[in-house]
């Protein structure tokens, strides 16, 4: 059996999201199949700096260590986000922090994290999920937006560039292939590029379902973002065996029709990525197997989604066979 990283070695890196537990339990599968790692949670602001000035690197360091020992590259996620970010960033006693104070904390966080996590890293998500899903607003309401203002994104990229001049600096988002959000995402990125913001790439999270988004919409997204001259990375891929609006909770395992359809989807996606491999330089799966992944209880409680390439016993699924 050929491995994922061998199958795609002439095209792009094949990454996986991990944490110390999965490295311990599924280390063999991870080191055999993948050549890039992302911390699923441990490099997010609340994990790296739970209180102002108290940085906690142990868990994140374990991941970097595993990558080093196994000759794998690192993809960093994420310097700024509205989730998994402690409130202290935005507070001054019981008042809201001033713009200056919030910017100073942003800079300290970015400087400190990139000082430690540049060596061995090819990219970092500088901002995550800043686009608003609904309506006409481009930017999502967030504490960064409220406290700093619209230029918080440019500032973050500038601080990141100063801290780590060679790093691939990315913006990252989901629903990146849905027409309306795609246009907003494009508009924001184009504005950043036109202003000379030091941005290198666009992340497509790729949390996809059995039918949605369509292949055409994904292709259109890739073409649109690539037209800006930036590198693309697929950053958090999973393909649920359900459609998003299917809320059933009665299945204890996926049907063979679901697994077949899922395999067709993975196959079509990876063919598309290969077609655009001049622009796409890494594809990260958001877990190694159906045994453990964030969709085991989300978005529908008490239901698995069986979205990965390996099954609950870490055995290759039809989706794996099709793309290798
Ligand atoms: C998820 C993790 O997988 C979960 O373990 C955690 O509870 C919540 O965050 N978009 C992102 C990722 O950018 O950071 C999220 O990861 C999944 C959605």
Query: In terms of DSSP bridges, do strands 121-128 and 73-76 run parallel, antiparallel, or are they unpaired?
Result: parallel
Is 294 touching ligand 1 by the criterion CB < 6 Å?
A: yes
> What percent of the chain has pLDDT above 90?
99
Of all helices (H) and strands (E), which one includes residue 128?
strand 121-128
Q: What is the pLDDT of residue 29?
A: 98
Ligand 1: distance of its center to the CA of 182 in Å?
Answer: 20
Structure tokens at 147: 């406290």
Cα dihedral sign for 234, 239, 244, 249?
negative
Look over the chain and give the mean of its residue pLDDT values, rounded to a whole number: 98
Q: What is the pLDDT of residue 1?
A: 85
Q: What is the pLDDT of residue 244?
A: 84
Dihedral over alpha carbons 181, 177, 233, 309 (to 10 degrees): 130
Q: What does the pLDDT average to over 275-298?
A: 97
264-274 pLDDT per residue, tens: 999 999 999 99
Ligand 1: distance of its center to the CA of 39 in Å?
Answer: 10
Q: What does the pLDDT average to over 91-104?
A: 98
User: What is the spatial distance between Cα 81 and Cα 144, in angstroms, rounded to a whole number?
Assistant: 8
* Active-site annotation holds for 275: no
121-180 pLDDT per residue, tens: 999 999 999 999 999 999 999 999 999 999 999 999 999 999 999 999 999 999 999 999
Structure tokens at 205: 């999270």
Is 205 touching ligand 1 by the criterion CB < 6 Å?
A: yes
Q: Residue 237: which of 298, 295, 318, 168 has the closest Cα?
A: 295
Q: Which of 40, 47, 129, 176 is catalytic?
A: 129
Is 22 touching ligand 1 by the criterion CB < 6 Å?
A: no
* Active-site annotation holds for 318: no
Q: What is the band of 33 on the pLDDT scale with cuts at 50, 70, 90?
A: very high
Q: Residue 26: which of 208, 241, 293 has the closest Cα?
A: 293
User: What is the spatial distance between Cα 75 and Cα 40, in angstroms, rounded to a whole number?
Assistant: 11
Q: What is the pLDDT of residue 231?
A: 98
Q: Report the complex ipTM.
A: 0.99
Tell me whether residue 112 is exposed, middle or buried, using C-beta atoms within 10 angstroms of its C-beta: 0 to 12, 13 to 18, 19 or more: middle
Atom of ligand 1 nearest to the CA of 17: 3
């Amino acid at each position: 059996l050929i491995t994922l990283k061998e199958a795609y070695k002439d095209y792009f890196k094949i990454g996986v999201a991990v944490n110390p537990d999965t490295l311990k339990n599924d280390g063999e599968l991870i080191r055999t199949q993948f050549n890039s790692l992302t911390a699923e949670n441990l490099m997010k602001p609340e994990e790296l700096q739970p209180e102002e000035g108290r940085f906690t690197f142990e868990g994140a360091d374990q991941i970097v260590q595993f990558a080093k020992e196994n000759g794998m590259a690192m993809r960093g996620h994420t310097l700024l986000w509205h989730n998994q970010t402690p409130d202290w960033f935005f507070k001054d006693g019981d008042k809201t922090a001033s713009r200056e104070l919030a910017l100073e904390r942003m800079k300290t966080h970015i400087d400190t994290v990139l000082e430690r996590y540049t060596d061995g890293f090819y990219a970092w998500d500088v901002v995550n999920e800043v686009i608003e899903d609904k309506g006409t607003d481009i930017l999502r309401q967030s504490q960064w937006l409220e406290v700093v203002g619209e230029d918080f994104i440019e500032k973050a990229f500038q601080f990141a560039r100063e801290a780590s001049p060679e790093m691939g600096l990315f913006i990252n988002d989901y629903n990146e292939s849905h027409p309306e959000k795609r246009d907003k995402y494009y508009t924001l990125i184009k504005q950043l590029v036109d202003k000379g913001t030091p941005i290198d790439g666009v992340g497509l999270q790729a949390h996809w379902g059995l039918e949605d988004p369509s292949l055409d919409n994904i292709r259109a997204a890739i073409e649109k973002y690539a037209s800006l001259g930036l590198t693309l990375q697929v950053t958090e891929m999973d393909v649920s065996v359900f459609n998003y609006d299917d809320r059933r909770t009665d299945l204890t395992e996926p049907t063979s029709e679901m697994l077949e359809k899922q395999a067709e989807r993975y196959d079509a996606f990876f063919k598309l990525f290969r077609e655009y491999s001049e622009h796409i330089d890494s594809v990260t799966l958001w877990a190694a197997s159906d045994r453990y992944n964030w969709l085991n209880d989300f978005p529908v409680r008490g239901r698995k989604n069986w979205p990965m390439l390996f099954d609950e016993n870490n055995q290759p699924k039809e989706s794996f066979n099709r793309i290798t």
